[in-house]
Structure 1
């Protein structure tokens, strides 16, 4: 009997950033894989996720590689990096995710998805900067919700619950889970797959094996890798984010902030509607 094959697609969250073991990232997907299959026939796990990946990368590079492996289960968690780019386009994000899900499901793969917290909240940015990012995050999550239902994917509401605001769940960068956070995700995904009847073994342990980083380690990371990460993001995102923040401030001063929310909602509705039109056209 062939072992259950699990392939993980996505960005740094799925790559395992925040959960370092033996100088390498492990993460929730690897922890989940340990709880799939059986003792006599453990899961065959492949992690294709790459830090910084956007929906375009998952569609163009990771999906073809995954399809060649013909996985029984594939997780697709991506979209946060799209929201952090000046090129953000919810129509493009929706079209790419729709194709990724459809191609995997066409092979009979069980697709696992999740909605995620918005970066502005996690980074505790000022309101004028956080609100535009939150709006983008809600747009991506709405699309993921709709497309997960459309394609029959198993969806985890990872943007909800107390865990989002628990400090112990997050690493020094406040963007990626700590070991405890990765374990919490693995446990929830394991529960989701078990409820669907996927062969699973014992659930991953929710208890961290490693000590949390010291304050000195956190400060060192913020002064080195953290600064470099922020510099890269600022070069690409900051000019547009400042423009969005100024637009936010103008609408707030005029009492018309609701228009921004309505515009974002309309863009999401348009993106999903265009997929339906394309599907009908293809069927015809």
Structure 2
């Protein structure tokens, strides 16, 4: 069977799709950029836009990003959200389901194929980790249901124990490391029926265990540098994306830049 050549791709969402903590020469790379690079290698004249912005909630994606993506009329759209919603004090599940479905329906009506992705439920290292994990699992069920309802492409990269492997997460314990972004990209390419490195689908060996004292020191440092600023933004009603603009706001030909960062 001949592999489909996608000629245009728009990625929307939050920090996950913006590519936070997958550093590049200029800003961040991330799983969506990695997928775009693979797509560009398959089709001449390939065009790509990434309008994801860190901190965005699902409602903001539907209101601000979905209309932009719909006007671009790409062949493929990545629509991944909900992670910031489950971190809020109160979660309105029916509203989240309705917003996600509305966004997917709007994109499908333009003729696009929509790529959705479940989130990790690994939250033991976060405050109220068990609550966050349960919420993340509930959000994943919504994502799966909407993908099935509209017969769109679903990625489920964290269906095994590998989601608890610290190697897939950055130092802030929330965003993905370069290894995590590579894994998601490989799952996306596999779901689209495109060439990918099968080794990236094999779980990495578990991270080395550290002693109790070293772990507590790491907890203190994490709380100071990552938790405290996050709490401060919540109390002030601010978002990490308030002053951020989309890194690739236009649907234009993609120039592939070499990967210069060491593998993690």
What is the TM-score with the length of structure 2 in the denominator? 0.73
Report Cα offsets for 1:93-116 as digits up to 9, x if no partner: 011001001011111211111111
Rate the CA distance shift 1:45–1:222 in 2: closer, same or farther, 3 A: farther
Sort the Cα spacing of 1:66 and 1:204 in 2 relative to 1 into closer, same or farther, 3 A: farther
Aligned pair 1:155/2:154, yes or no? yes
The CA deviation string for residues 1-24 of structure 1, in whole angstroms up to 9 with x for no partner, is: x97110111110100011111250
When you count helix as a share of all residues, which structure comes out higher?
A: 1
- Pick 1 or 2: higher relative contact order, CA cutoff 8 A, min separation 6: 2
Q: Secondary structure at the match of 1:46?
A: strand
Aligned residue for 2:228? Answer: 227
Which residue number corresponds to residue 98 of structure 2?
Answer: 95
Query: What is the root-mean-square deviation in Å for CA atoms of aligned residues?
Result: 3.0
**Aligned residues of 1:31 and 1:204 also touching (Cα < 8 A):** no
Structure 1, gaps ≥5 residues long: 195-199, 207-214, 237-284
Write the distance in 1 (CA, Å) between the matches of 2:85 and 2:12. 15
Q: 1:139 to 1:26 in 2, by over 3 A?
A: same
Q: How many residues align?
A: 219
| Corresponding residue of 2:77 | 74
Instruction: Look up the match of 1:177.
Output: 176
- Post-superposition CA distance 1:71-93 (Å, at most 9, x none): 11111110010011124211110
Q: For structure 1, which segment, 185-194 or 31-40, has the greater mean C-alpha deviation from structure 2 after superposition?
A: 31-40
Correspondence 1:168 to 2:161: no
* Map 1:1-284 → 2, pairs under 5 A: 4-38=7-41, 41=44, 43-118=46-121, 120-121=123-124, 123-125=125-127, 129-194=128-193, 200=194, 206=200, 223-233=224-234
By how many angstroms is 1:205 displaced?
A: 9.0
Cα deviation, residue 160, structure 1: 1.6
Cα distance in 2 for partners of 1:104, 1:224 equals 38
- Contact 1:6-1:72 at 8 Å conserved across structures: yes
3-state SS of the aligned residue for 2:115?
Answer: strand
Rg larger for:
1
Q: 1:131 to 1:103 in 2, by over 3 A?
A: same
In structure 2, distance between residues paired with 1:168 and 1:218: 17
Measured after TM superposition, the shift of residue 42 of structure 1 is 5.3
CA displacement 1:151-208 (0-9 Å, x = unmatched): 01111112322331222111001111111110111111111112xxxxx5665995xx
Q: Residue 272 of structure 1 aligns with which residue? A: none
Write the deviation string for residues 207-254 of structure 1: whole angstroms up to 9, x where unpaired. xxxxxxxx9x99977643553124334777xxxxxxxxxxxxxxxxxx
User: Hey, what's the Cα distance between the residues in 1 that align with 2:52 and 2:14?
Assistant: 5
Query: Matched residues in 1 for 2:228 and 2:13: separation?
Result: 24
